[in-house]
Amino acid sequence: MKHRIAFCVSAIAGMTLAVTSSFANLLGVSVELYPRITYQATSTSGLTYTPTNQLLTITALPTAIQFSSAETARPISGARSLTINVLVDNAGNLVGGVSGADFTLSGNVTRIVGGVTNIYSGVLLTGEVAGFGFLESGPTDQFDFRFNVTGGALSSFFSCGDIGVIVINELSTFSGSFSANFNGRPKGTVVLEDLIPPTVTCPTNITVE
């Protein structure tokens, strides 16, 4: 089994540049948080990369969303889609996003809380790319992304973090090189990614007699 290490540089407006390793943990996106959205493509061209225009595209069907550990997963129905469009150079480094939203999730979701029915439909979530990583490991490769939330009907559920996307690319033709076309059948998870460390505020000293 062969492994390829890549180091990607990403920048967000108002923040300093960060260097992240894509080996093993990739960007370190965790699937332990909520909301958690699953998706899967049926075509082996669900993920494509074209070196001439440096465009990496993912097109898949979102299947379900689980809002918390206390709730069951809710199906995503209707005219549903998940698309990702980012620019990755021929060395595997993130260049940036494309015109418009880099990440778009659409469909219909019904959630019942306390006897109240909430219906979310249309564009559920959008984001702009902030990070990219990859791991080449044979016929099933892995890619992951990080996005800043920009809108959508579910954006309030992601207001305290970023969008993390894990991509398992089945039947992948990726050989570790971004100088040749490759494709595959992607599936994976979209999660809330809380990267803000907790803070503790202590009161002033109290004297007790």
Q: Which range marks the domain in which residue 60 is found?
A: 7-23+45-193
Whether 136 maps to a domain, the answer reads yes
Task: Determine which of 6-15, 30-39, 161-170 has the lowest per-residue pLDDT on average.
Answer: 6-15
Could you read off the pLDDT of 132-155 as tens digits, one per residue? 999 998 889 999 999 999 999 999
How does the average pLDDT of the chain come out, rounded? 86
Write down the pLDDT at residue 100: 84
Write down the pLDDT at residue 200: 66
Could you read off the pLDDT of 152-205 as tens digits, one per residue? 999 999 998 999 999 999 999 999 999 999 999 999 999 998 665 556 666 777
Phi, psi of 110 (to 5 degrees): -115, 130
Write down the pLDDT at residue 26: 83
Write down the pLDDT at residue 196: 59
Whether 144 maps to a domain, the answer reads yes
Statement: residue 8 has pLDDT above 90: no
Whether 33 maps to a domain, the answer reads no
Write down the pLDDT at residue 11: 38
Whether 175 maps to a domain, the answer reads yes
Beta bridge partners of 22: none
Average pLDDT over residues 74-95: 96
Whether 14 maps to a domain, the answer reads yes
What percent of the chain clears pLDDT 90, i.e. is strictly above it?
A: 71
Confidence band for 9, pLDDT divided at 50, 70 and 90 = very low
Write down the pLDDT at residue 137: 87
Q: Which residue reads 């939203």 in tokens?
A: 101
Statement: residue 53 has pLDDT above 80: yes
Write down the pLDDT at residue 5: 38
Contacts 24+ apart (CB under 8 A), 80-85: 80/106, 80/107, 80/108, 81/105, 81/106, 81/107, 82/39, 82/58, 82/106, 82/190, 83/57, 83/58, 83/59, 84/56, 84/57, 84/58, 84/145, 84/165, 85/55, 85/56, 85/57
Whether 36 maps to a domain, the answer reads no
Write down the pLDDT at residue 99: 86
Query: Do the beta carbons of residue 147 and residue 163 sit within 8 Å?
Result: yes
Whether 60 maps to a domain, the answer reads yes
84: nearest Cα among 34, 46, 38, 123:
46
Q: How many separate domains does the chain show? A: 1
pTM: predicted TM-score of the whole model, two decimal places: 0.81
Whether 108 maps to a domain, the answer reads yes
